[in-house]
Amino acid sequence: MKAKLDINFRNPKAFDKLGRFTGEESSYFTVKKGEELSEVLKANGHSDEEVAKAEVRILKGNPHWLEAKSEDEKKKVVEVKKDKESEEKRYAELKSEKKDWQANKLKELGAKSIPSYEDGRIKLIMKLEK
């Protein structure tokens, strides 16, 4: 997928194994408008898995940043959109439940602690259900 605008990414080469900034290189790099996202990410040290996660993250949050040209890319856009819609639907279902139900659901799923805020409980339920 090609970038429709400049997108900044964290530069993994600039950090050591513990995640500390080494100062040897810039802490970020930019995918320029019109460049192929996967090629630039791989050239800057990202694995295939990290590239796929980045594409999905962008398509869920800011799909207007990327341009899908091939049929496979267009299918991926549709698939991510459906996945996002199902997550939003599940979030709405969980939000309609009472706090006690949410807490019991978390216990059933094996949560070690129960967040006090509703948003935290819902997101943890969704995470544990995956």
For the stretch 50-82, pLDDT in tens is 999 999 999 999 999 999 989 999 999 999 999
User: Please, which pLDDT band fits residue 15 given cuts at 50, 70 and 90?
Assistant: confident
Three-state DSSP at 16 gives coil
Enter the DSSP assignment of 29: E
C-alpha span between 62 and 66 (Å, rounded): 8
C-alpha span between 29 and 36 (Å, rounded): 14
* Model confidence pLDDT, tens digit, residues 114-127: 999 999 999 999 99
Q: What percent of the chain has pLDDT over 70?
A: 100
Answer yes or no: are the C-beta atoms of 58 and 65 closer than 8 Å. yes
Give the rounded distance of the alpha carbon of 36 from its chain centre: 19
Q: Is the pTM of this model over 0.85?
A: no
